Amino acid sequence: MTGANKPANSQWGGRFTGGPAEIMRRINASIDYDKRLYAEDIAGSKAHCAMLVAQNILSPQDGAAITAGLDQIRSEIESGSFVFSAENEDIHMNIEARLAELIGPVAGRLHTARSRNDQVATDLRLWLRDAIDRLDLEMRGLQRALIDRADAEAGTVMPGYTHLQIAQPVTLGHHLLAYVEMLGRDRGRLADCRRRLNESPLGAAALAGTSFPIDRFASAAALGFDRPAANSLDAVSDRDFAIEFLAAAAITVMHLSRFAEEIVTWCSSEFGFIRLSDAFTTGSSIMPQKRNPDAAELVRAKTGRLNGALVALLTVMKGLPLAYGKDMQEDKVPVFEAVDALELCLAAAAGMVRDMQPCRERLRDAAGQGFATATDLADWLVRVAGLPFRRAHHATGSIVRRAEALGCTLAELPLAELQGVEPALTDAVYDVLDPTRSVASRTSFGGTAPERVRAAAAEARKRFLE
Ligand code: ARG
């Protein structure tokens, strides 16, 4: 099918005699997704228009007509009465076509000293800047939920793991604060990205700049950019700001997926460390006893989408010669998808943190299993009996073997058994074999002792929430 009997596009079709083939229209159109940029597109157009008037490139009357038309289009879009058309390809041309319907040929003056290339680059930066600000608030909200919980569970003893083998007792509050630190770095990465993306492409025009006496500093300032982008070719052709965002987003959701995985395992009957309420679980259509942590599983799985988005845009941009290429139209879907998925994940994670009920007894019991206080025993031999650590480690290993053979915990071993292995041991050692005492002793900076965790939670409030 050809487009020979169809009209050419009214906005760029001057040198064309026929219209595009149906498949050309379909592959070319981005309006289905880039309509999300409407508010940024209109803001960009208004800033550009005001600058053109201030520079005497556009008359004040024409400027006023264009501005009023743009405002009306914005309310039409927001009220749902605006008719988007694929014939007009993208959001920029949809808006300009409607502007022409509303105010006549004067609409055509808006595109003076501008191209869709600098326009779309500007729109996406503005959109992403807003999204980053929203995400920062949501990440902060999750940090708040975690810190509140950490404070409440500062003294809740649980097993700490390495290799998913019980390692040493820790506190639940300490464990939750680990995620607060990760999110703090995630927020830092987004803040860096925001700082770097906040330069205005507007006025770079198609790629080379323009012969009109425009003021790029003025339009940049009007849109809240720190400065105009310094090189017009770079301004229209790079999408590293979006890739940087996607990388930061992928790291964030990777963190969330680790937490989600812990929620999934902690909810299982084998662990039984926490309970989620009906609000964050679902039932099974066949097994009546089930209570599935679907929200956590989906947070874990959304990582796939975010990683996919990053790889998609890296691949789109790889090897593209300067300056703009239509390939770049494919930048939007990954960015929108990543923002949507990340917002959902952050909200679900915060919801689960507020919802979860720790099973404190079960956590404590589990901390007494797996010889979790073996390191405390070895440390005691060094600290109290003055043994070299290597010898203490070896003796403790033999004691663990003995407890294993007798089927008891370290705390349950009779003193005679302990002394049979290491005569330096006394009654006083039982103090450190108790998981609660074990965590209480870990008062080093950044350690798991309840008093440390309470102080760390207070510190985290200052660092992240004020
Ligand atoms: N819809 C296009 C995009 O998203 C706008 C820019 C089109 N520029 C062009 N020279 N055809 O990239």
Residue with CA closest to ligand 1 atom 11: 326
pLDDT score for 266: 97
Catalytic residue among 85, 277, 284, 398: 284
Q: Where are the alpha helices (DSSP H) in 322-388?
A: 332-355, 360-368, 374-383
Give me the chain's average pLDDT, please: 95
DSSP state for residue 415 in the 8-state scheme: H
Least confident of 183-197, 341-355, 360-374: 360-374
Q: What is the pLDDT of residues 110-160, one digit of tens each?
A: 999 999 999 999 999 999 999 999 999 999 999 999 999 999 999 999 999
Distances (CA, A) of 442 to 321, 360, 364, 395, 447: 57, 20, 17, 22, 6
pLDDT score for 286: 77
Cα 315 to ligand 1 centre (Å): 18
Token readout for 99 is 């502007």
| C-beta of residue 179 within 8 angstroms of C-beta of residue 349 | no
Cα 122 to ligand 1 centre (Å): 12
Bridge-partner residues for 159, per DSSP? 169
Query: At residue 3, does pLDDT exceed 70?
Result: no
Cα 115 to ligand 1 centre (Å): 9
* Average pLDDT, integer, range 362-382: 92
pLDDT score for 369: 87
Ligand 1 in reach of 156 Cβ (< 6 A): no
* Residue 227: φ, ψ to 5°: -170, 165
**3-class DSSP state of 170:** strand
* Average pLDDT, integer, range 226-248: 98
**3-class DSSP state of 166:** strand
Give the integer Cα–Cα distance in Å for 151 and 355.
Answer: 15
pLDDT score for 8: 75
Query: At residue 4, does pLDDT exceed 60?
Result: no
* Average pLDDT, integer, range 210-232: 98
Ligand 1 in reach of 328 Cβ (< 6 A): yes
pLDDT score for 20: 85
Token readout for 229 is 């982008």
* Average pLDDT, integer, range 440-456: 96
| Residue owning tokens 């003796």 | 395
Q: Could you tell me whether strands 199-200 and 227-228 are parallel, antiparallel, or unpaired per DSSP bridges?
A: parallel
Cα 326 to ligand 1 centre (Å): 6
Cα 1 to ligand 1 centre (Å): 24
Percentage above 70 pLDDT, the chain? 99
Residue with CA closest to ligand 1 atom 12: 329
Ligand 1 in reach of 67 Cβ (< 6 A): no
Q: Which amino acid is at 199?
A: E
Cα 120 to ligand 1 centre (Å): 7
pLDDT score for 288: 76
Q: What is the pLDDT of residues 271-289, one digit of tens each?
A: 999 999 989 988 877 777 7
What is the number of the ligand 1 atom nearest to the C-alpha of 90?
A: 1
If one residue of 94, 326, 335 were mutated to test the ligand 1 pocket, choosing by the most ligand atoms within 8 A of its CB, it would be 326
The string over 92-112, giving b where at least 16 C-beta atoms fall within 10 Å of a residue's C-beta and e elsewhere, is: bbbbbbbbbebbeebbebbbe
394 is catalytic: no
Confidence of residue 5 (pLDDT cuts 50, 70, 90): low
How many helices and strands (H and E) does the chain possess? 19, 6
pLDDT score for 7: 72
Cα 188 to ligand 1 centre (Å): 31
Residue with CA closest to ligand 1 atom 4: 329
What is the secondary structure of 220-247 as a DSSP string?
HHHTT-SEE-S-HHHHHH--HHHHHHHH
Kindly state the helix (H) or strand (E) to which residue 261 belongs, with its residue range. Answer: helix 240-267
pLDDT score for 287: 79
Burial of residue 340, with CB atoms counted within 10 A of its CB: 0-12 exposed, 13-18 middle, 19 or more buried: middle
Query: At residue 16, does pLDDT exceed 90?
Result: no
pLDDT score for 10: 74
| Residue owning tokens 């797996």 | 370
If one residue of 116, 324, 333 were mutated to test the ligand 1 pocket, choosing by the most ligand atoms within 8 A of its CB, it would be 116
Ligand 1 in reach of 120 Cβ (< 6 A): yes
If one residue of 117, 125, 126 were mutated to test the ligand 1 pocket, choosing by the most ligand atoms within 8 A of its CB, it would be 117
* Average pLDDT, integer, range 185-202: 98
Ligand 1 in reach of 329 Cβ (< 6 A): yes
48 is catalytic: no
* Residue 9: φ, ψ to 5°: -60, 135
What is the number of the ligand 1 atom nearest to the C-alpha of 34?
A: 4
Cα 30 to ligand 1 centre (Å): 9
Q: What is the pLDDT of residues 424-434, one digit of tens each?
A: 999 999 988 99
Closest CA to 149 of 48, 316, 274: 274
Sign of the Cα torsion 336, 340, 342, 343 reads positive
Query: At residue 88, does pLDDT exceed 70?
Result: yes
Catalytic residue among 81, 163, 211, 285: 163
Residue with CA closest to ligand 1 atom 7: 116
Ligand 1 in reach of 236 Cβ (< 6 A): no
Residue with CA closest to ligand 1 atom 3: 329
Q: What is the pLDDT of residues 18-68, one digit of tens each?
A: 888 899 999 999 999 999 999 999 999 999 999 999 999 999 999 999 999
Residue with CA closest to ligand 1 atom 2: 329
